[in-house]
């Protein structure tokens, strides 16, 4: 895509309002999900890891329709006229999404068929009913009658039976029947989600053992989709009628819960009521099998109040996020070899973590460093008689949380414990509500969030009575306090007792739990107060430094870059000659490579075994570099509508590790990285002739042992 430099009215400055300078965020996200799909066809990956990426692609797309597409449709129906920086209206975006998604689904089907064939070669077979032997089909009919039939509720649709509610993301069968007296009938059968989506089935040789052992005991790694079993035996549900055929379909609904905080008695009630409405949101997507007749599609479209552009036909199974179940197959030879996280060297001692932190800052880089270091920090605080107070933010907590267990133990030990539980963490609301109630019942001071904002900052603070007085021990991170995600997300954290940072964290907690209009902080960059202004000031400083003495350099690693004002400022910096390296895992609305505007900007994305999650911001500053790490992406929501924190990394040794051993290595990746082109597409980065192959994530595994700091 060739874009000429647009010149403003003064003939010197480019027109940075030109929509051609910006990539649409939704189309950029679809490009990200396509990069996920590309991992599923990467033959360098173990086979069951490729299955994971197929599952992730499908799960991502479900959420995209539930949140982003539903939001665009609501904007279109509501007559929203304000366009994003790229200038596309909601209707134009919906049309463009439709054009992109259908080819992606075709590529997905092709990828799945290829992976399925390779699985079969490894004796992991996903079979069709028609491929099974007679004895196997007979066995499955017995299993259906005993285990599935009682869970099914056929719902008729005719003048005396209204069209049934189709729950979000459920797999259903549209059953066409012929009644001897009434003619053709229509019914819906929902496939029960309480049973495995992929049923293990025995080989023909073992089928005879079913009656004595049961299905699971005699099954090998052979599977069949449960909806096929329901389809093959659906006649049991309609005795006296002829089953003409049955067609699978799936509905995606608007799940972007609108929480009217100002109209509810309390936030907990508002979120709980909003969750109850999620299953009843308007339909935004209908998925059908490509063989579904037009008249059946028409019935579904009309009764779900959909438009034709919202219907997607596929030549494979629906709801492929459930492929994740296959990763439970016990075949370690088809999976990545496990990496055992370790405690950082500074913590590999029996010494109290408080003694260690009092002497030095300690860097954590998960999942290469064990998250148990953070758990042990809270546990030790809960048991230490000198600890007075523990304060914590919790965004995505997860089930069976040892962090929450430690906080509960602290309360049992009569510590003062204050926790902000963000109830509005999308799709984690139910778990967070349960934990919030458990903490409250134990006497913990629980805050549910801040009115009108989400609290996304990742902060822990322990106040301890040391011999020389009260001291604040702080942990800050780019990642959630969640043991599960800490095994698969890469995140940077820091333990510190820096007095200024401790005072800033105290001020942040006071603003979360009480009434505070604090705007100025000593060292932290805090949104929505001053983070935007602080970042913009540092970019302006880099421009000034470069104009005065050259050598201007910015390097950012983050999840998403879509804020129009920040992008425009990066264009200004590039136009001034500042070199800019960006690694944006997901959405990027900036177009690199435009002459005179962004030709000094390089944008890469790494999609690999671990989800790249750190936000790292490096400012060259004329040889006196500044480095910030934390929770905030460069998006309007993060800078304007969330409580976010970026913390400075000031210890020279630790800063050098983050810059040289983490940031630079990821920027140099030529194994997993893709480079963003001006037209919004991505190309794989390939090593130059004689250049070593750099897989940044594997480099982290090897290099972590040699890092000189905590």
Cα separation, 412 vs 415, in Å, equals 7
Cα separation, 130 vs 125, in Å, equals 14
Phi first, then psi: give them for residue 588, nearest 5 degrees: -140, 115
Quick one: how many helices (H) and strands (E) in the chain? Answer: 21, 27
| Cβ 57 vs Cβ 33: under 8 Å | yes
Cα separation, 285 vs 301, in Å, equals 10
- Report the SS3 class of residue 473: strand
Give residues with Cβ within 8 angstroms of 464, minimum separation 6. Answer: 354, 381, 384, 386, 387, 388, 470, 471, 473
Place of tokens 């002459």: 595
Please state, in angstroms and as integers, the Cα–Cα distance from residue 616 to each residue in 488, 583, 662, 663, 702, following that order: 18, 10, 10, 8, 21
Count of other CB atoms within 10 angstroms of residue 127: 16
Residues pairing with 314 in the sheet: 289
| Cβ 432 vs Cβ 405: under 8 Å | no
| Cβ 392 vs Cβ 457: under 8 Å | no
Residues pairing with 387 in the sheet: 464
| Cβ 46 vs Cβ 336: under 8 Å | yes
Taking each helix axis from N to C end, the angle separating 25-40 and 90-121, rounded to the nearest 10 degrees, works out to: 0
Count of other CB atoms within 10 angstroms of residue 48: 21
DSSP state, residue 421:
E
Residue 165 annotated as catalytic: no
Q: How big, in percent rounded to 5, are the helix, strand and coil portions of the chain?
A: 40, 25, 35
Cα separation, 554 vs 577, in Å, equals 11
- The DSSP H or E segment spanning 6 is none
Cα separation, 285 vs 254, in Å, equals 9
Active-site residue, selected from the candidate residues 366, 456, 546, 666: 456
Cα separation, 461 vs 478, in Å, equals 15
Give residues with Cβ within 8 angstroms of 44, minimum separation 6. Answer: none
- Report the SS3 class of residue 497: coil
Query: Which of 339, 317, 328, 330 shows the shortest CA–CA distance to 51?
Result: 328
Cα separation, 571 vs 582, in Å, equals 13
Cis-peptide, bond into residue 528, ω within 30° of zero: yes
| Cβ 314 vs Cβ 105: under 8 Å | yes
Q: What is the DSSP string of 298-366?
A: HHHHHHTT--GGGEEEESS-S-GGGGGGGGGSS-GGGSPPP---B--GGG-SSS-HHHHHHH--EEEEE
| Cβ 633 vs Cβ 639: under 8 Å | no
User: Positive or negative, the Cα torsion across 194, 480, 667, 703?
Assistant: negative
Cis-peptide, bond into residue 367, ω within 30° of zero: yes
| Cβ 231 vs Cβ 317: under 8 Å | no
DSSP state, residue 453:
B
Place of tokens 């069949």: 224
**What size, in residues, is the chain?**
710
Catalytic residue ranges: 456
């Amino acid at each position: 895509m060739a874009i000429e430099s647009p010149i403003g009215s003064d003939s010197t400055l480019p027109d940075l309002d030109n929509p051609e300078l910006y990539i649409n965020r939704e189309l950029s996200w679809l490009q990200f999900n396509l990069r996920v799909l590309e991992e599923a066809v990467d033959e360098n990956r173990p086979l069951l890891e490729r299955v994971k990426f197929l599952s992730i692609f499908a799960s991502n797309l479900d959420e995209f329709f539930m949140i982003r597409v539903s939001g665009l449709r609501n904007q279109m129906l509501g007559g929203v006229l304000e366009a994003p920086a790229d200038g596309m209206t909601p209707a134009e975006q919906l049309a463009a999404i439709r054009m992109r998604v259908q080819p992606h689904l075709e590529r997905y089907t092709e990828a799945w068929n290829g992976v399925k064939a390779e699985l079969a070669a490894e004796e992991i077979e996903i079979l069709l009913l028609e491929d099974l032997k007679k004895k196997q089909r007979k066995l499955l009919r017995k299993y259906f009658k005993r285990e599935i039939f009682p869970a099914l509720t056929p719902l008729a649709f005719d003048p005396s039976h209204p069209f049934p509610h189709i729950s979000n993301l459920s797999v259903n069968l549209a059953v066409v029947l012929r009644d001897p007296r009434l003619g053709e009938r229509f019914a819906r059968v929902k496939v029960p989600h309480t049973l495995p989506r992929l049923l293990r089935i025995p080989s023909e040789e073992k089928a005879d053992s079913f009656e004595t052992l049961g299905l699971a005991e005699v099954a090998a790694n052979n599977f069949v989709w449960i909806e096929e079993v329901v389809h093959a035996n659906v006649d049991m549900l309609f005795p006296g009628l002829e089953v003409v055929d049955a067609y699978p379909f799936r509905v995606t609904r608007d799940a972007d819960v609108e929480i009217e905080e100002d109209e509810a008695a309390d936030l907990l009630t508002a979120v709980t009521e909003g969750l109850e409405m999620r299953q009843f949101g308007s339909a935004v997507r209908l998925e059908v099998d490509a063989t579904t007749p037009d008249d059946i599609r028409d019935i579904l479209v009309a009764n779900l109040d959909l438009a034709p552009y919202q219907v997607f036909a596929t030549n494979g199974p629906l709801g492929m996020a459930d492929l994740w179940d296959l990763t439970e197959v016990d075949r370690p030879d088809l999976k990545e070899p496990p990496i055992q996280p370790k405690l950082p060297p500074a913590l590999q001692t029996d010494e109290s973590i408080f003694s260690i932190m009092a002497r030095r800052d300690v860097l954590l880089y998960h999942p290469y460093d064990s998250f148990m270091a953070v758990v042990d920090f809270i546990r030790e605080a809960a048991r230490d008689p000198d600890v007075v107070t523990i304060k914590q933010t919790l965004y995505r907590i997860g089930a069976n949380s040892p962090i929450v267990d430690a906080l509960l133990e602290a309360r049992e030990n009569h510590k003062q414990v204050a926790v902000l539980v963000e109830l509005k963490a999308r799709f984690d609301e139910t778990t967070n509500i349960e934990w919030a109630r458990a903490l409250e019942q134990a006497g913990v001071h629980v805050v549910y969030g801040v009115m009108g904002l989400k609290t996304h900052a990742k902060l822990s603070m322990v106040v301890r009575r040391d011999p020389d007085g009260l001291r604040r021990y702080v942990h800050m991170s780019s990642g959630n306090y969640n043991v599960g995600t800490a095994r698969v997300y890469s995140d940077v954290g820091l333990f510190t007792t820096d007095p200024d940072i401790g005072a800033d964290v105290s001020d942040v907690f006071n603003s979360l739990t009480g009434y505070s209009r604090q705007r100025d902080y000593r060292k932290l960059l805090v949104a929505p107060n001053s983070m935007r202004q602080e970042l913009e000031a540092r970019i302006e400083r880099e421009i000034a430094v470069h104009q005065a003495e050259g050598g201007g350099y910015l390097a950012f690693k983050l999840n998403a870059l879509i804020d129009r004002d920040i992008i425009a400022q990066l264009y200004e910096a590039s136009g001034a000659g500042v070199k800019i390296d960006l690694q944006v895992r997901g959405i990027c609305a900036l177009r690199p490579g435009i002459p005179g505007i962004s030709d000094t900007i390089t944008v890469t994305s790494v999609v690999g075994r671990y989800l790249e999650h750190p936000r790292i911001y490096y400012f060259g500053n004329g040889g006196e570099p500044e480095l910030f790490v934390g929770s905030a992406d460069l998006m309007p929501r993060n800078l304007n509508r969330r409580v976010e924190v970026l913390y400075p990394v000031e210890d020279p040794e630790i800063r050098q590790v983050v810059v040289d051993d983490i940031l630079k290595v990821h920027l140099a990746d030529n194994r997993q990285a893709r480079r963003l082109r001006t037209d919004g597409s991505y190309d794989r980065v390939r090593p130059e002739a004689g250049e070593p192959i750099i897989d940044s994530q594997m480099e982290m595994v090897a290099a972590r042992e040699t890092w000189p700091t905590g």
